[in-house]
Structure 1
């Protein structure tokens, strides 16, 4: 169902993640604050990053596609994001497992990247629902998701087990196909 095409705006390109992106991803993940709310820091070492690439990023390409986020101005990899949990029966998926380098946070990068993923999901894959999940205390991420136009659905308690054995309560958001045309227009104005 997925294609290997590159999606791009005038400022950001999403390229299906390949080995050639790993060095840039390793550099993008160096700042510890990037990983405060992410389930696992897979850029701690190059070995861990390669294991993540092989076992997570390449896992079941019928259910997910993982993208490197490229800042077109610098031509640098500034993070990664994915469309995953593709449910072809219910025509839904989740956008997430996103990390963006510390220097690219609170810039145009996230808006452009999410716009491209949403456009791909709704316009090419013809999905009817996209969900977003983040740690309930990750206010920066929650604000970014809400700015996209996603609707807050509530908190799922003890939704994800973290590396340290504790549990994360998850703030849940969604965008459905009826909402997409208005959200698309608003995002295009922001781009």
Structure 2
């Protein structure tokens, strides 16, 4: 596929709806992100502070305007509430690849089917609509919960970039990288569909 056009779209499943991120979501995101524990491993710092979420949304929307990111608000359909956010980033049309990341959920939406369905919707769109040949993920190498979540969906661990990033509090972050290739997608899709049927 040669038409690699990553543009705002709504992706909908049984449990979640991924809507193009906008300032309309800022209050709901602030409510979902009110627990400081959510931000321990995140590059952005503590978005539970007053005014921080709106500033973050504006920054991410600016990145979207530059063509580097495509952010989504994650809507929990049963409650109608904003559960968190996720996005495509590191978008590389010439190489038909991108990253799924910047993902976070409110505490009450963690360890539910929300993350599994979000990843399923994003991966399906990336491989089946955009024609990606590679989708990558990265996480703080010390964030065991994120690492387990990435491994649970079937991504292959590729290695660790040491001292990869400086976090808002000055800590040095090592980043673990994972990927799924187009040749692996059919098996990963079947695996995710089985997980979703259980959840």
TM-score interval, normalised by the smaller of the two chains: over 0.9
- Three-state SS of the structure 1 residue aligned to 2:26 is helix
Tell me by how many angstroms 1:41 deviates.
3.5
For residues 70 and 46 of structure 1, what CA distance do their matches in structure 2 show?
A: 22
For residues 109 and 191 of structure 2, what CA distance do their matches in structure 1 show?
A: 22
1:11 aligned onto 2:15: yes
1:64 aligned onto 2:81: no
Greater shift, 35-44 or 179-188, is seen at 35-44
For residues 178 and 122 of structure 1, what CA distance do their matches in structure 2 show?
A: 10
- Three-state SS of the structure 2 residue aligned to 1:178 is coil
From 138, 142, 147, give the equivalent of 2:147. 142
1:47 aligned onto 2:51: yes
Residues 65-144 of structure 1 aligned to structure 2 (within 5 Å): 65-144=70-149
Greater shift, 61-70 or 132-141, is seen at 61-70
Is the 8 Å Cα contact of residues 11 and 73 (structure 1) preserved in structure 2?
A: yes
CA RMSD of aligned residues (A): 1.3
Tell me by how many angstroms 1:167 deviates.
1.1
1:24 aligned onto 2:23: no
From 170, 181, 184, give the equivalent of 1:179. 184
Tell me by how many angstroms 1:116 deviates.
0.7
Residues 157-172 of structure 1 aligned to structure 2 (within 5 Å): 157-172=162-177
Greater shift, 63-72 or 41-50, is seen at 41-50
Equivalent pairs, count: 191
Is the 8 Å Cα contact of residues 68 and 89 (structure 2) preserved in structure 1?
A: yes
1:4-39: CA deviation from partner (whole Å, max 9, x where unpaired): 321011111100101111111000001121112111
For residues 4 and 136 of structure 1, what CA distance do their matches in structure 2 show?
A: 30
For residues 41 and 8 of structure 1, what CA distance do their matches in structure 2 show?
A: 29
TM-score by length of 1: 0.95
1:89-109: CA deviation from partner (whole Å, max 9, x where unpaired): 111111101111011111100
Greater shift, 164-173 or 89-98, is seen at 164-173
Tell me by how many angstroms 1:185 deviates.
1.2
Is the 8 Å Cα contact of residues 25 and 79 (structure 1) preserved in structure 2?
A: yes
1:60-102: CA deviation from partner (whole Å, max 9, x where unpaired): 4422210001110101001000011110111111110111101
Tell me by how many angstroms 1:155 deviates.
1.1
